[in-house]
Every structure is written in C-alpha cells, then in structure tokens.
Chain A
Amino acid sequence: MNYFPDEVIEHVFDFVTSQRDRNAISLVCKSWYKIERYSRQRVFIGNCYAINPERLLGRFPCLRSLTLKGKPHFADFNLVPHEWGGFVQPWIEALARSRLGLEELRLKRMVVTDVSLELLSRSFPNFKSLVLVSCEGFTTDGLASIAANCRHLRDLDLQENEIDDHRGQWLSCFPDTCTTLVTLNFACLEGETNLVALERLVARSPNLKSLKLNRAVPLDALARLMVCAPQIVDLGVGSYENDPDSESYLKLQAAIKKCTSLKRLSGFLEASPHCLSAFHPICHNLTSLNLSYAAEIHGSHLIKLIQHCKKLQRLWILDSIGDKGLAVVASTCKELQELRVFPTDLLGGGNTAVTEDGLVAISAGCPKLHSILYFCQQMTNAALITVAKNCPNFIRFRLCILEPNKPDHVTSQPLDEGFGAIVQACKNLRRLSLSGLLTDQVFQYIGMYATQLEMLSIAFAGDTDKGMLYVLNGCKKMRKLEIRDSPFGDTALLADVNKYQTMRSLWMSSCEVTLGGCKRLAQKAPWLNVEIINENDNNRMEENGHEGRQKVDKLYLYRTVVGTRTDAPPFVWIL
C-alpha cells in the first residue's frame, strides 16, 4: 500500500464506512492516520463529555455528519435530573466557528434550545439532515428556523422528544422553493398542525419517503396526504378516528391501495380499530409495524391486521396483544427479526398482559429473531431455557418482569438458570437487560459466557460484590454498564480501575458504593469523570464527617480525554 498515492488509498478508504473499522485503519501507521482523518466524514460520539468539539474538529476537519449522545440511558426513566447536562449549544457554536460543511446532525438525549436550532440553521448552508431522539429544551419556534433557513433540508426527524408546541406556523415556514424533503417526522408534537401548509409541503416534495404525523392530523387529511404522496415508504398515522362509511374513509382506502412502496407503518395515536381494514391491501409489503402507541387497537382487529403481514421483520406492540396474539405472530411472521412488547398496564394488575408462553411461542415460530424487548408479568427458568434453545441468535435480549425480584412463578427459584441459558446459547449477545429474582449466580454465568456483551442493565439483582466482579472481570467487551438498586459496593467498584478505560460509562444508583469509595476511584483514575448526582442533599455530602461511609445515591462515571466538564449543575459533584 505504500506505493500507492494518497488519493488511491483514500479512495479505498471510502469503502470503509463503519466507524470501528475506520478507527482501526487509522491505527495502522502515521500515513494512514493522516489520510483517514482528512477523509473521515461521519463521526459518532457516544458520550458528548468524552471529548470536546475543538479536539474533534482538530482531528477531523472535513466532518459532514456528527452523531452525539448526551445523558446516560437511565435518564429515560427519570433517574437523571433535567439540568444534568448534555447541552448541544457549545457543539454547534464550535462547529459554526470552524465553518465546517456540516450536513447532518443526529442527537440523542441532549438538551437542544431554540437558540441552538437557529444557530444551526444559519451556520451550515449545506445542512441536510436533523435527527433528534429523546431530546428536550426546544419549541416549535426552533423548528421554524430550521424550516425557514435550511435550503436543502432533506430530513427532519423528531423521535420522542419533549417539544414545547407553541402552535405557531412552523410548517408554513418551509419556503415554497423547498422541495427536497425526504423525511418529515413530527409525531411527537402535541399541538395543532397547520393542515393546509402540511398538504402543500407534501405535495411539493416528490422525494418524500417518510412521513410521520402527529395526533392533530385527522383521517381526512391523511387521505389527502396519501393521495399526494403515493411513493411513501414509511408512514406514521396520526389520528385515525372516523366513520368507516364516510367519504374520506373511502378516499383513504383508494389512496392506500396506490401506496405500493409502503413498507413501514406506525402511529395510530388515536384510532378507531374497525377502520384498520383499509390498510389490509398493503400489509403484505410491510416490513415494520409499530403499534406500540396504538392503545385503542387490540383484540381481533389487531390480529386480523397482523395476519396479513407475512413479511414483517420488526414489530413493536403493546402487551394487550396477549399470548394468543403472540402465537398468531409466531405463525404468521416468519421473517421477524425484532420484537418489542410494551406494557399497557404499568401497575402489573394482571390484565391481558403477556407471559412466558408468548415469549416461547415467538422463539419457536420466528427463527430469524435476534432482538427482543419484552415486558411481562411472570417468567420461568424453563421458558427461558426453551427460548435459548430455539433462538441462539439473539443479539439483544431485554426482559423486564414488571415486579422487581419476582422469582420463577412455578418453582419460586431465582431466574439465574434461565438467563444463564440465554447467555450460554447466544454467543453473539451484545445487549442484555435482566429482571426478576437474581442472585450472584447469574452474574457468574454472564462473566463466563457473555463474551461479546457490550451493554448490560441490572436492576434489583445480586447478593454481594462478587456479582459485579464477575461481570467486570469476565465481559471483556463491556462498554456500558448500568446498575440500580443492587448490593454492589466499593469493593467491586475499585477492584479493577483500569477496566473503566475500556468502557464508555458506568452507572450505579441506589447501590452500596460510598462517597469514600468514589473519591478513591477518582484519585486513582484522573482520566475518569466520576460524577455524584445528589439532588436533595446539596450540602450534606461535604459536611458530614462520616462521608467516607456515606452512601452515594447516583454515581455516573465515564472516561474522557478532556477532563472535568464545566457545565455541571450544582447538584452534580464531580470528584
């Protein structure tokens, strides 16, 4: 390779797209490092505090696409206070100053403000794609600036964000000259939508492939939209309430039949289930179906719909589908790769939820299944062992038994053996979430068998520090470890400090780690940010003379090359 001019090597590198691969080739030699960094266009940063924008730009001056993640995963469940951090503003400011030709920005769990969005929209003339997932802090005014200023906007994809809807006219801020939209997803907006502006926008966007509407878009508008966009591939239905005999419903039926490219269907935030049959004609093309917000679609209507979906690869559903419904899925959807079953009844009151039988049925019927998220009332070791035998190809296995510490409901044993079977059989397992009654034994299994495991979520599990030690010692590829309400303490935390250099982050809340332990860790590892989040006791941590033994409620530590962050709120104490 040394005899090739740089341009040729660069051309070869163009075919290497995965970030991990590119990181690898940059380590080969200085020359390759240099070529790689100038040709790198996409960068993924899993923790926005691991590095800062200046260093990022220093290494990759030709960046086009940036992905940033902010808050730790448990922030999704209200375990991280809102003001913890994850602000995108400094990033956008730095990128704007550098006159980078940024085209794509993808953010997850970050705080985004209208100011940031405005700055973004004005600083990058070639900006094409904005994807915000689980972000917060902005309003529709920010969206208006994106719409108005980004001349070549291709994607505006808002997934599950908390957006203050000012009921303004952000949709009408798209200039008439904007015809480049490919993705428009505003399903998470709660307010009214300017339907006229929306229809005109869709009508002038011939490349529109993905359209996800919010609750305020009624069925008759949906009909008109689908007439304008028969090329649609990915549709999120907003409101779906109507009389099956009405004219708009008939229009909708006709329009749907023309959408022969439709592959992904979601939404139905408000739905009259008996109108679902309008979608039957295209169901055989569907590869992805997300009805996890369609609380009003269940029972026979749901089953009938699914029975038409023989090519389904991804299904997100509520547990109202029941074990029987899952059996139908198992017999119909032979191409199924990913299944998520969400709880409707968060109390676990025992209504039509799913049990271990549904999971076993799916594992038996869907040979291609590799990712599962399953909320259920009860589980048995026998069922998990069967699932492991049926599906040794799991990459992601997340089981959430709604009641913490619940044992095998038949034998009253811990679920160690069941999860043990999963990790032993699934040699490619990368992500695992545990629940139910679990002792240190399950962690011994995980340490022994889960060699590829990268992310592990633990809640209410284990007996002693040994549990955590098994994991830290055994799982060489661990990147993200998150633990709550488990009896792991300083011994486990401090056993192998260098381990954290190989991981992105560790979260421990309501465990047994003490302030003294955290301080010792911070001392031993200056390349770690050790954050203690302590909201109600702002000052107590410092005053109490027994701080060495004082338990820390929330610990979040992560490796970083840029030291302590400067934007931490007062209740976050960085050691």
Chain B
Amino acid sequence: MCPEEELQSNVSVASSSPTSNCISRNTAGGGLKEHNYLGLSDCSSVGSSTLSGLAEDDKATISLKATELTLGLPGPQSPARDTDLNLLSPAKLDEKTFFPLLPSKDEICSSSQKNIALGNKRGFSDAMDQFSEAKSSVYTEKNWMFPEVAATQSVTKKEVPQNIPKGQSITTNNSSSPPAAKAQIVGWPPVRSYRKNTLATTCKNSDEVDGKPGSGALFVKVSMDGAPYLRKVDLRSYTNYGELSSALEKMFTTFTLGQCGTNGATGKDMLSETKLKDLLNGKDYVLTYEDKDGDWMLVGDVPWEMFIDVCKKLKIMKGCDAIGLAAAPRAMEKSKMRA
C-alpha cells in the first residue's frame, strides 16, 4: 500500500503499525492524513507540508469509524510488535526537523544519544543498542509499558518533552510525529492523576462542544489473575480495542511467560509472539472490565467510545473463570439503556 509506506517514511519513527492500521481503516477514500491529535496548525512549519493536521471534521469522521469498526476483540495481529523494525533503523531518526521547540538545546536535538534534561530517557539509546526489551526502562504516561512499545514511544517523542495528549478518541501514543507532536513524559506536567481524572470526567459530562476535549488521562487499574501487582493504563491514549489489547499484552508479558515457561519458551524470551497471542487472545485469558454499575463484562462488546465511558477497571481473567460473564446481547442491552 504505497500511500502508507510513503507516510511511514515521512513520519519516520512514529509510524508504528497501529497508526497505519488506523489510517488505513479510517480514511475513506480521501488522502491519508497524519493523526495529528493536537490538531494544531500553528506549530513548527518544518515538514508540515507532508504532515498536515487533521481538520476537526475528519477527526469526527474517524472517531465515528473507530467506534463502528471494532466490535469484539481484534484478531491475533499485534501490530505494535512490528515497531521493532522501526526502532533499530537509525535512518528514521531525524526528528530534529520535527521538534524545533527547544531552540537552545540544538545540540541535543540533533544528537540522538543524549538524554540529558529531556523528556525521554536512556531507554531510547538502549533501543538503539538493540537491547531495547532488556534494558529499556522508559516509562510513558501509560505506565509500565514494556520496552518495545516504550522504546517506540521514546523514539517518537524523544526530543521534545511532551505533555499528556488531550483525550480525543483517536489519540494514540504511537501516532505519527507531526511537527507539533509532543512527547509524552511520565509524570509531567506534575499534576496529580486524581486531578486529571476529575477534570476529564467533568469535561466528558459537560454538554459544551467547544472543540476542546477533556484534559486527557483516564487511568484505570488493570489486574491479572496470578500477577503480583497491578498496573494502570490511560484509556484515552488508545483509540480502539486493538491498541489496548496490544498494550496490555506487552504489559503482562512477563507474567504469562513466567507461567508458560515450562512449555519450552525460555524465561528470557520476551517475544514469544505466537504463545502470547494464544494466551491472551484466544485460549487462556480474556479481558474483562467492571462497568459503572459494578458488573463485570467482557471487553469488546460495545463501541470503543462507550467502553471508555463506562469502564472503571480492567481485569485479565483466566478463560475458565470468565464463563459466566456478560456476553454481547446483554452488553448491548445495557448500552442501549444508557443511551
């Protein structure tokens, strides 16, 4: 698909497949556009000719499509994994032209190895060293994501420290890097998640449509049967179930692999893809969520928009434990009641 490849090369680092997938799914006929989730046209002009921001209408269209398309958990494809290829090719890393927002630290902009005083961390150079999954300790606002994805994001957002993206439905951490894209730095700006969540809820509930959606993060806890500790994810940083699913897979990889270690996969092999896919997507585990009424439901039965509206908690359950859970008909009923 030529346009996509072209897009990828222009976008360089951030052209992880989720984005491409999104784009390929969602652009109806018109030319491919960057997911400029900031929608700002007054950002740096460099490269902007190839990376145009999305018009508001397009965003709406795309978000609509996003809700239509993803019913039920997506198939086994975990596109984010392909980003490893992107990570390791230095040629992609010319973000300097895309992030001219640090005028006084030009030398840092051009050097891909220096991490001092910038949003992102050693994890990036680790990624370059091809030890990404092992060494990277990069965190993103999504918290505790595993190195491949984390390093992807560090690559994307390396130079320019980012603030948390607004809570638009099509926002994705793996999105392309238009000039205005700011990297996501965990814990910056220093605002409590309680505050972020509260303001986000207010904005979500308000009827005003002033083109300025809520202040971004919507953290929910994710637990997994058998895992020693739980994680948190920002639901607003995904745009569909596929991304959420990939992110969770990566997050809980060590736990599942620890358990299937006896199956022959080595404990250190963090990329046992087929096993993982099987584990999470079909056979052994299901993703469930607790909704506003306190009921546990299977993830994937309602449109994404509705899902992030009602989801309070996530849990990765063993398939056998999840048998009694609400299946699609009831979930749709509930959502109709709410509408």
Contact = CB atoms under 8 A, between A and B. Distances in A.
A325 interface: no
Given A346-B189, A347-B166, A536-B147, A404 B118 contact: yes
B137 A537 contact: yes
A2 interface: no
Interface stretch (B16-24, B200-208, B298-306): B200-208
Contacts of A569: 228-229
B170 interface: no
B80 interface: no
A536 B195 contact: no
A375 B163 CA distance: 13
Contact of B116 (A402, A407, A412, A487): A487
Contacts of B135: 537, 540
Contacts of A160: 192, 194-195
A346 B164 contact: yes
Contacts of A405: 102, 104-105, 117-118, 161
Nearest to B203: A295
B137 A402 contact: no
Contacts of B118: 404-405, 460, 485
A166 B212 CA distance: 32
A74 B144 contact: no
B122 A537 contact: no
B48 interface: no
A424 to B, nearest CB: 24
A76 B189 contact: no
B216 interface: yes
Interface residues of A, number: 66
A342 B104 contact: no
B159 to A, nearest CB: 10
Interface in B153-196: 161, 163-166, 182, 185-196
A162 B197 CA distance: 10
A349 interface: yes
A459 B185 CA distance: 12
Contact of B117 (A345, A461, A535, A553): A461
Given A77-B187, A296-B206, A344-B199, A553 B137 contact: yes
B134 interface: yes
Contacts of B187: 74, 77-79, 484
Interface in A517-541: 534-538, 540
A346 B216 contact: yes
Interface string A27-70: 00000000000000000000000000000000000000000000
B205 A77 contact: no
B117 A487 contact: yes
B195 to A, nearest CB: 7
21 contacts: A79-B187, A161-B194, A190-B201, A215-B201, A292-B195, A293-B198, A295-B203, A296-B206, A342-B195, A346-B216, A347-B216, A375-B189, A375-B191, A402-B189, A403-B182, A404-B117, A404-B118, A412-B104, A485-B118, A487-B116, A537-B135
Q: Which 6 A-B pairs have the closest CB atoms?
A: A77-B187, A404-B161, A83-B229, A553-B137, A160-B194, A346-B164
Given A293-B199, A405-B161, 5 more contacts: A77-B188, A82-B231, A82-B232, A292-B195, A400-B189
